[in-house]
Chains A and B, each alone.
Chain A
Amino acid sequence: QQQVKQSPQSLIVQKGGISIINCAYENTAFDYFPWYQQFPGKGPALLIAIRPDVSEKKEGRFTISFNKSAKQFSLHIMDSQPGDSATYFCAASISLFGNEKLTFGTGTRLTIIP
């Protein structure tokens, strides 16, 4: 199974709140989990990434939580700002033998309201 399921499809959060986006996968061979941020008409930009050997990674206001046993990982955006309004994609790939193809989630459209 190569699918990565992402939820919710859309999310509205008040400024200053916490935005949480969830992803789940089936393939236990996945060992690299990045999150991308995409603004309309632009290419995705790498936000933060994690490997299964850690359960959490934090970079500024962005945190990835990873639950290997549940095969789930999530993105938390603390103190959400209007500038964070974008579409967020989770992804997963397998490093073994150089197979770095990313499998993307379906995306979450995040809107931060004042």
Chain B
Amino acid sequence: GAVVSQHPSWVICKSGTSVKIECRSLDFQATTMFWYRQFPKQSLMLMATSNEGSKATYEQGVEKDKFLINHASLTLSTLTVTSAHPEDSSFYICSARLGGSLADTQYFGPGTRLTVL
């Protein structure tokens, strides 16, 4: 149980285009999902917290207009990187939080490798 998927697993795009990454909780409902960014050999950096049916909460320094997050249902959150540039190339990982007595537990997706040319 507690499986989180991401699509696509990798994407290559041209500078200036937009890329959408999907995060799905496959076997549970996630009221809260998180989006992280990870550079090579570094730790995970939280970008934003996404709650179903409400606006995402972004961490300090993360551009809201560049990284659009939509949490339309209890099993799906999307991250859209708008007008992508080479410096946006990174590994993007989502996580979903279980509710109830395991409310603190976050389960991570497999990640999406974004390369902007």
Mark B56-73 against chain A: 1 for CB-CB distance below 8 A, else 0.
000000000000000000
A43 and B109 in contact, given A32-B104, A100-B32, A100-B97 (Cβ under 8 angstroms): yes
Q: Decide: B103 and A95 in contact? CB cutoff 8 A.
A: yes
B83 is an interface residue with CB less than 8 A from chain A? no
Within 8 Å by CB of B105, from A49, A101, A105, A106, lies A49
Number of A-B contacts (CB under 8 A): 54
B107 is an interface residue with CB less than 8 A from chain A? yes
B46 is an interface residue with CB less than 8 A from chain A? yes
Question: Which chain A residues border B32 with CB–CB below 8 Å?
Answer: 100
Chain B binder among A34-42, A69-77, A78-86: A34-42
Q: Decide: A102 and B110 in contact? CB cutoff 8 A.
A: no
Distance in Å: Cβ of B5 to nearest Cβ of chain A: 10
Bound CA span A105–B43, Å: 7
Q: Which residue of chain B lies nearest to A87 when distances are taken between CB atoms in the complex?
A: B41
Distance in Å: Cβ of B37 to nearest Cβ of chain A: 12
Q: Decide: B97 and A44 in contact? CB cutoff 8 A.
A: no
A46 is an interface residue with CB less than 8 A from chain B? yes
Q: Which residue of chain B lies nearest to A33 when distances are taken between CB atoms in the complex?
A: B104
Within 8 Å by CB of A93, from B44, B93, B104, B108, lies B104
Within 8 Å by CB of A104, from B6, B41, B44, lies B44
Most chain A Cβ neighbours within 10 Å, of B106, B107, B110, B113: B106
Bound CA span A97–B104, Å: 11
A66 is an interface residue with CB less than 8 A from chain B? no
Q: Which residue of chain A lies nearest to B112 when distances are taken between CB atoms in the complex?
A: A43
Bound CA span A113–B43, Å: 24
Q: Decide: B46 and A102 in contact? CB cutoff 8 A.
A: yes
Cβ-closest 9 pairs across A and B? A43-B108, A32-B104, A43-B111, A43-B110, A44-B108, A104-B43, A43-B93, A104-B44, A106-B43
Instruction: Identify 10 new A-B residue pairs, CB closer than 8 A, beyond the known A49-B105, A100-B106, A104-B43.
Output: A41-B91, A43-B108, A43-B109, A43-B111, A44-B44, A46-B107, A100-B32, A100-B103, A101-B46, A102-B46
